[in-house]
Amino acid sequence: MRLSIAAIGKAGQSPEKALVERYFSRLPYQGAIIERDSSKLSGIAGKRDEGKRLLSVLPDGCKLIVLDENGVNFSSVQWADQISNWRDSGTRDAVFAIGGADGHSDEVLAAADKTFAFGAQTWPHMLVRAMLAEQLYRAEMILARHPYHHA
């Protein structure tokens, strides 16, 4: 199963981008890093605009996992179990979505199969990408029973 990240905003040549690429290059089935520019609009109109652009790039039949502060806090093992369940049920793609500065639109939240959180704190978006990429790699290592998870 391909694991991808869809995010609002461009990473440029940042250290966080290098970390994301490092972890993604290690995944058994490399997914994509999908970036869409932030909206020029503000408020609800901007969130809707970003949401439309994010939803338009999703592969058909994918599982959409939205990262949101109101999402469920899963352990790394629970992430791995969820990925394993989707893979075993024939899911081809899972896309993890990171919204813009104002979060996700109602349309994106409604389309989500799951909503995950990285705790109650607010994290810089580029750092969330790196943390997410590491957790996806960690999930794969848990499923492969590789010692990385316990190192």
Stretch 17-30: mean pLDDT:
90
Stretch 3-16: mean pLDDT:
91
Cα separation, 84 vs 95, in Å, equals: 14
Task: Say what percent of the chain tops pLDDT 90.
Answer: 78
Cα separation, 42 vs 91, in Å, equals: 35
Task: Say what percent of the chain tops pLDDT 70.
Answer: 98
What is the pLDDT at residue 113? Answer: 97
At the top level of CATH, which class does the domain 2-150 belong to?
A: alpha beta
**Average predicted confidence (pLDDT) for the chain:** 92
Which sequence spans correspond to the domains of the chain? 2-150
Stretch 26-37: mean pLDDT:
88
What is the pLDDT at residue 133? Answer: 95
What confidence category does residue 149 fall into, taking pLDDT thresholds of 50, 70 and 90?
A: low
DSSP category for residue 150:
G
Look at residues 111, 94, 126 and name the one whose alpha carbon lies nearest to residue 52.
Answer: 111
Segment 72-112, tens digit of pLDDT:
999 999 999 999 999 999 999 999 999 998 899 999 999 99
**3-state class (DSSP) for residue 84:** helix
Residue 151: pLDDT above 60? no
